[in-house]
Amino acid sequence: MVPSSPINLEQLNFPKVSPQAAKVLNYLSSEDPDMGEVDNIIMRDPVLAGTLLRYANSPLYRSSGEISNIPTATRMIGIKNVRSAAVMTALRATCPAESELTKTILQHSLGIATLCKLIAKKSCPAVADDLELLGLIHDIGMVVLACNAENEYRALLARAQAENIAVDKLEKMEFGFTHDQIAARALHEFRLPKRHETVLTHFHQPPDENETDEELKKERAVLVLAHRLLFEIRGDDVCSETLFESTDELMHILNLDDAAVETVLEYARAHLSDFAG
């Protein structure tokens, strides 16, 4: 089928991090970042500082009273989640008006990020923060498309929902490419882990039966299961995507039982709205 849209993949405008956020990401990519310097940089970027404080005061992190200063916040949520806050700031700044379309996509991504962290805590806790970031940026290509071609992409999502077609399949039909193909370039801009690129660029393809990296298999399984559970919680999802593995298959890969999954669902149902802002 010949794509119907004139959208050129090579001419899309991509999210750009602010100068302060870029400095933060550079510091955090070093082996031993100076957190005092990171705090100072964040405090010079009011938007980044505000996003970081929202993270620190969300139910996933806050243990007692409200966190109101950056040094406490960075130590509360940890280095990897400071990186997530920098990425979220860039995503929100990509579309200054933050239309209902981008809000919908970001809300979906925040829901997936929360579920990725909750699932990973049950299955692979050492990488829970990494997988929260993976969930946060997994649909960064959707944000890029929404900001570059808002009317066309809004119509595409509406059609996908009305006709029960996976968004990635309809993108391929309409544009000739999918949001997965945008991910690699965006991840490079954010200086994010190479293995995230591996997971995301193959996310809407059948799992590789010859894959020998067990950790990579688990990371994919966490992301797919997060989508399965978000659909169970919210029902009709405007960002519905192609998923290959069943919930039972994913639970087997992650060594999760029904009780563990139900615990994740209960927490998510109670708190997902806290991560939408």
User: Helices 70-77 and 46-56 sit at what angle, rounded to 10 degrees?
Assistant: 50
| Sign of torsion over alpha carbons 111, 116, 121, 123 | positive
Run of H or E residues at 82: helix 79-94
Domain with CATH 1.10.3210.10 in the chain: 96-277
Alpha-helical segments (H) within 43-78: 46-56, 70-77
Neighbours of 69 (CB within 10 A): 12
- Report how far residue 173's alpha carbon sits from residue 4's, in angstroms, rounded to the nearest whole number: 8
- Would you identify the CATH topology of the domain 96-277? Hypothetical protein af1432 (1.10.3210)
Return per-residue pLDDT of the chain as tens, 277 residues.
545 556 777 778 777 777 888 888 888 777 788 888 989 999 998 888 988 888 888 777 766 678 889 999 998 888 888 888 888 787 777 665 567 888 888 889 889 999 999 999 999 999 998 898 899 889 888 988 988 888 999 999 999 999 999 999 999 999 998 998 888 777 777 777 788 888 988 898 999 888 889 999 999 999 999 999 999 998 766 788 999 999 999 999 999 999 999 999 999 998 776 554 4
Residue 100 CB neighbours (<10 A)? 10
Task: Tell me the whole-structure pTM to 2 decimals.
Answer: 0.84
Residue 98 φ/ψ region, left for φ over 0, alpha for ψ in the -120 to 50 degree band, beta for the rest: left
Q: What is the DSSP letter of 14?
A: -
